[in-house]
Structure 1
Amino acid sequence: MDAIVFGATGFIGRSLVAELLGRGQRVAAAVRTDTLTPWLLARGVDIAGLTVVTADITRPLADLPEARDVYNTAARYAFGLGEREARATNVIGATNVLEWAANLPALRRLVHVSGYRVSAPSGTPDYAALGAYEASKFEGDLAVRALAKERGAPLTIANPSTVIGPGQYIGLAGLVRNLWEGRLPAIPGGPEVFVPIVTIDYFARFLASIPESPAGEHYWVLDDATPPLPELIRTVADHLGVPGPRRSIPVGLLRRLPRALTGADPETLSFLSTDRYPTAAAHSFAAAAGLEMPPAEDALRVWADDLVAERFGTAAPGLRPYGFHSVAGSRTWITGDRHTPEYVLLHGLPMNAEVWTPLAGRLRGPVLAPDLPGLGRSAPSDRPLEEWLADLMSPVRTRPVLVAHSLACGPAMRYAAAHPDRIAKLVLIAPALLQAPGPRSARSAPAAAMLRRLSVQRLADTLHLPSGPEIESAAADLRRPGVARRVVRALRTVHAERGSGRELLDRVRVPLEIVVGSADPLAVPVDQRVIVLPGAGHYPQLTHPAELAEQLESLSDPLRR
């Protein structure tokens, strides 16, 4: 084997395996359980050079394929661990890997992944003060270096800072989550606190390149240009369209206050430091290897998009690509093709763009599906919905079919009337302005508090839908500050505008179709043809996606010709 990677199913290990395979190497991946192969296949990685082997580094290693380069990316990265549990991987496991590697006849390099806060030439780790994770990493770092010197092993240590990227949900991700969910009242630490980052793609390339360099180096791999923590938080808050905290709280006070009050894990507080790190050797090596870090602010924004799309590790992303963009002066969550969509899909209440996921996969053309302003993951806008829609459509170079559901039908009709040259057809699904009003209780002041408290199953029952990822996504958004209140406000707006639907229909000068479920009929007679989906209710895109896709495709076929 060209290389063997221990900890190959971990956040760093799996990306390193993908990088090595991409370089044409033969790689052995040492794992306890093979979750690696599906992960690689899902990302289109060619696994022809991969061999998966079973290994438990907490025990002495044997019967593994020999390799030229050995990487130990295995670590127990968690807070609140017991000392024995943390040492099993971070100390004993690390020395077991080195003992095994030192006996390989053709060993070129052993690369050990340590940490930017724990690498020091000497010392004794204080488990009580540091916590089991950091102390065990400190002890493991010392033990590996001492054993490598004793055994004459060609060792290189990589000390990464906070590694960010898709799939990283701990550490700094917890702070981003609190910011996103409105639970970060103050910035932890002072104005010069430095929590540096490095992206997983860059770090994997860095690790893969190390064996070409001389042994014995200790590389601190981090971006010195990472903004201080207060500025970092502001950068992420501005990108997400959420208010950032204006106050800060000193680390010393955080240590004294009860965790129940601050929400801060005591083990994370030592990372709130103003320390800087010796990165010159890593930068010199990276330049020689042709490696370049992406700008820190850009990397943070991309990672924030990933965290929101993945619900901080609780859900798989729906439509791709995804991310926050500025539309009509507000931060808007947009999924799909922004420039050449064949369909533009506008959701209704209380959903977000995820509601279109079952349908989008059945349509032949690309789609563009945003979260409406103030709803789902999008920040509020101070402009009318049809003006926001006009700005959303400004980069679109095609004449798509505009598909609107429920609440969105009114703004879609107004947009179509004002911009008939921008769309090929308008399709209204369960248009709220043409249907019977819902219960008055849904528009009452207590309704917002009720919506925030709804479980996924209760929300599904309320909407007469089976629970699923789209309902889970909507429920998560409703718990965010202000979203439920804006849903109720939108319901009141729709109720106040009922009766204007017929007038709006008369203003539309593009081909128009209306689709409803048989269990959710129109209450207002219309002259236009109405397509009725048997058995469907108010959300046919969820309950009858195949039938709805068939109707949309048939409506679009003449446009394609």
Structure 2
Amino acid sequence: MTDVRVRRGGRGGPTVLLLHGLGATGEVWNGLTALLPGAWVAPDLPGHGGSAPLADYTFADVAAAVADLVDPGGTVVLGHSFGGVVGLHLAHRPGVRAVVGLGIKVAWTPDELARAAALAAREPARFDSRAAAVARHLRLAGLDGLVHPDSPEAGAGVLEEADGRWRPALDHRAFGVGEPKVAALVAASPVPVLLARGEHDPMVTTAQLAEIVADPVDLPGLGHNAHVEDPAAVRDLLP
């Protein structure tokens, strides 16, 4: 069983299971959790933040590592980007009532997949200062300019190594998960699926989402990390 760092809060169901995007940590949901009326659970996915890495990365294996966080009494899964695909893999888990996928990149070219595989093969960059590692983490997670470098959201994404140097906590091998096959996951889901994007998200278009679900949601004025930019708008996506 993978050692997963988990944060929890609130009371009352259904529980909202919050799954962050590639490179981020559970702290990116801080703005949203303050607005939720009931219970929530926000793990660091394997190979991110304070959670242990996996031997190999597939979306199914990442989902299996957090599957026990689903409350069988009732859970709504909200996943961002990479975490949205993980959430779709949990749709069959007993207790899941709905899945909300935010900012999932649903269309991949062979060149994009090749670049992701190349990133997975790289050694992580190491830095002499924590500040430099934080700056790299924020770029990797797409949070540069959205959160303050001294914030918990930034600090949770870096690790100090035994030699005193610093690096982003992200295990680069997670880039190698491959094509997510979102359309097939949505088609096979036994529970309702809502797909949404920020209006200015460069990773996915409304037209691409409309090929998968009947009523995709555009969040006006927002980008790829809409949950960080406007937590209330994302809260309103929850059933």
The TM-score bracket by the shorter chain reads 0.7 to 0.9
Determine the C-alpha separation between the residues in 2 that align with 1:424 and 1:411: 15
Map 1:527-542 → 2, pairs under 5 A: 527-542=213-228
Determine the C-alpha separation between the residues in 1 that align with 2:175 and 2:123: 11
Q: CA deviation at 1:461?
A: 5.4
Structure 1: stretches of 5+ with no match in the other structure: 1-328, 557-561
* CA distance 1:444–1:334, shift in 2 (3 Å): closer
The TM-score, its normalising length taken from structure 2, stands at: 0.75
**Residue 443 (structure 1) aligns with:** 119
Does structure 1 conserve the Cα–Cα contact (< 8 Å) formed by 2:106 and 2:204?
Answer: no
**2:69 pairs with 385, 392, 400, which one?**
392
Determine the C-alpha separation between the residues in 2 that align with 1:448 and 1:542: 25
Map 1:327-366 → 2, pairs under 5 A: 329-337=1-9, 342-366=15-39
The superposition leaves residues 470-512 of structure 1 with CA deviations (integer Å, 9 ceiling, x where unpaired) of 542244248767943x2x211221xx214x1111111112011
**SS at 1:402's partner residue?**
strand
Q: CA deviation at 1:337?
A: 4.5
Structure 2: stretches of 5+ with no match in the other structure: none
Determine the C-alpha separation between the residues in 1 that align with 2:128 and 2:85: 26
**SS at 1:403's partner residue?**
strand
1:502 matched to 2:183? The reply is yes
Does structure 1 conserve the Cα–Cα contact (< 8 Å) formed by 2:29 and 2:227?
Answer: yes
Determine the C-alpha separation between the residues in 1 that align with 2:179 and 2:139: 27
Determine the C-alpha separation between the residues in 2 that align with 1:483 and 1:370: 14
Question: Relative contact order, CA 8 A, sep 6+: which one is greater?
Answer: 2
The superposition leaves residues 509-558 of structure 1 with CA deviations (integer Å, 9 ceiling, x where unpaired) of 20110121111152533233211112211111111112112332xxx2xx
Q: CA deviation at 1:445?
A: 3.9
Determine the C-alpha separation between the residues in 1 that align with 2:100 and 2:196: 7
**SS at 1:358's partner residue?**
helix
Determine the C-alpha separation between the residues in 1 that align with 2:53 and 2:41: 19
Determine the C-alpha separation between the residues in 2 that align with 1:451 and 1:497: 31
* CA distance 1:518–1:389, shift in 2 (3 Å): same
Map 1:402-441 → 2, pairs under 5 A: 402-416=77-91, 418-419=92-93, 421-434=94-107, 437=112, 440=115
Map 1:59-208 → 2, pairs under 5 A: none
**Residue 250 (structure 1) aligns with:** none
* CA distance 1:347–1:546, shift in 2 (3 Å): same
* CA distance 1:531–1:339, shift in 2 (3 Å): same
Does structure 2 conserve the Cα–Cα contact (< 8 Å) formed by 1:460 and 1:471?
Answer: no
Letter aligned with residue 466 of structure 1? L
* CA distance 1:445–1:356, shift in 2 (3 Å): same
Does structure 1 conserve the Cα–Cα contact (< 8 Å) formed by 2:222 and 2:229?
Answer: yes
Q: CA deviation at 1:338?
A: 9.7
Determine the C-alpha separation between the residues in 1 that align with 2:182 and 2:30: 27
RMSD: 3.3
Does structure 2 conserve the Cα–Cα contact (< 8 Å) formed by 1:376 and 1:478?
Answer: no
Letter aligned with residue 176 of structure 2? R
Determine the C-alpha separation between the residues in 2 that align with 1:353 and 1:398: 22
* CA distance 1:514–1:465, shift in 2 (3 Å): farther
**Residue 456 (structure 1) aligns with:** 134
Determine the C-alpha separation between the residues in 2 that align with 1:339 and 1:331: 24
**SS at 2:21's partner residue?**
coil
Does structure 2 conserve the Cα–Cα contact (< 8 Å) formed by 1:451 and 1:478?
Answer: no
* CA distance 1:335–1:471, shift in 2 (3 Å): closer
Determine the C-alpha separation between the residues in 2 that align with 1:445 and 1:429: 27
* CA distance 1:514–1:451, shift in 2 (3 Å): farther
Number of aligned residues: 216
Determine the C-alpha separation between the residues in 2 that align with 1:550 and 1:482: 32
* CA distance 1:350–1:422, shift in 2 (3 Å): same
Q: CA deviation at 1:355?
A: 0.6
The TM-score, its normalising length taken from structure 1, stands at: 0.35
Map 1:38-57 → 2, pairs under 5 A: none
1:401 matched to 2:82? The reply is no
1:378 matched to 2:51? The reply is yes
